[in-house]
Amino acid sequence: EIRRAHDQALKDALTAARKDAEMSAALLEMEKNYSRARDIAANRSRQLSSASHDIRQPIASLRAELDVLKRGAAATDMARLDRILDHLSALTAELGRSADTDIESEPAPEQAERVPAEHFFKMLERMFGAEAKAKSITLGFTGETHVFHVPAVALMRIGANLVSNAIQHSGAANVHIAAEADGDGIRLTIADDGAGFPEEEKAQAFEAGVKGSDSDGSGLGLSIVHKLAQMHGLDLTFHSETGRGSRFTLLIPAAR
């Protein structure tokens, strides 16, 4: 009787252990599925936030172009275009609000290609020339003859974010973009003579969501620049002096 009771107790214990193991395995699988779903959602949110930030730049440029065109255009046409831009701005703002400000995840690096500095400079001039002029900022370029070997979209995003920051937030009178030979590569410099970064903000300049106390931006521009530079193996350096402006430098491979 004692032996039978002992055997039954062992069987019960084994049954309970088996159920516990099955439950643990099910919980583990659920946790894995939850983690995968959470990571996918977080990545999508970061991509939306980054895309929203990049879209706002050409919208701002279009609005600056409209301000110039208003002098000779019909008021009804300009009002309609203003409403369209207001709608686009509202859509991108909604995307930004619905997304996380962390942008650690970005698409895989793109293929490097020949990008003439002349074309790169012309795109920046088209995007920001009117806005700079409206704010009495001189936008200058030197080194048009160089040719970069870099993914074109990544270079454009980096340049657009840095120039946009300088025009909108630095309080500069001059923003200068220069390309010059540096060993086997090309040193791209985007500099302004604005207010510069306060000493206490320099260490966090490239962190997502960090921005100056008087900034109405999203705090994503420099973090996007930093992430893209890391992703494509570009050496990024940053120097700023309060009251004397900021300078961002990228060392980019030269096309052969």
Each residue of 58-73: pLDDT tens digit? 767 776 767 666 666 6
Band of residue 57 on the pLDDT scale cut at 50, 70, 90: low
Report the distance separating Cα 216 and Cα 76, nearest Å.
30
Q: Are residues 225 and 146 in the same domain?
A: yes
Q: Answer whether residue 221 shows pLDDT above 60.
A: yes
* Residue 104 located in a structural domain: no
Mean pLDDT of 44-50: 64
* Residue 174 located in a structural domain: yes
Q: Are residues 78 and 161 in the same domain?
A: no
Report the distance separating Cα 237 and Cα 227, nearest Å.
13
Domain boundary among 98, 131, 166: 98
Q: For residue range 129-151, list pLDDT tens digits in order.
A: 888 988 999 999 999 999 999 99
| Whole-number percent of the chain with pLDDT over 90 | 29
Mean of all residue pLDDT scores within the chain: 79
Q: Are residues 241 and 127 in the same domain?
A: yes
Q: Are residues 150 and 43 in the same domain?
A: no
Domain range enclosing 183: 113-253
Q: What is the pLDDT of residue 150?
A: 93
Amino acid at 65: E
Domain count, the chain: 2
Q: Answer whether residue 103 shows pLDDT above 50.
A: no
* Residue 105 located in a structural domain: no
Which comes out higher in pLDDT, residue 90 or 213?
A: 90
Q: Are residues 32 and 150 in the same domain?
A: no
Whether 190 and 180 have beta carbons less than 8 Å apart is answered as no
Q: Answer whether residue 229 shows pLDDT above 70.
A: yes
Q: Are residues 24 and 148 in the same domain?
A: no
Q: Are residues 92 and 124 in the same domain?
A: no
Q: Are residues 213 and 239 in the same domain?
A: yes
Overall pTM > 0.75 = no
* Residue 228 located in a structural domain: yes
Mean pLDDT of 116-128: 90
Q: What is the pLDDT of residue 123?
A: 87
Q: Are residues 92 and 136 in the same domain?
A: no
Whether 177 and 239 have beta carbons less than 8 Å apart is answered as no
Q: Are residues 7 and 88 in the same domain?
A: yes
Report the distance separating Cα 114 and Cα 151, nearest Å.
8
Q: For residue range 149-185, list pLDDT tens digits in order.
A: 999 888 988 998 899 889 988 999 999 999 999 998 9
Which comes out higher in pLDDT, residue 119 or 43?
A: 119
* Residue 182 located in a structural domain: yes
Q: Are residues 220 and 119 in the same domain?
A: yes
Q: Are residues 28 and 132 in the same domain?
A: no
Q: Answer whether residue 247 shows pLDDT above 80.
A: yes
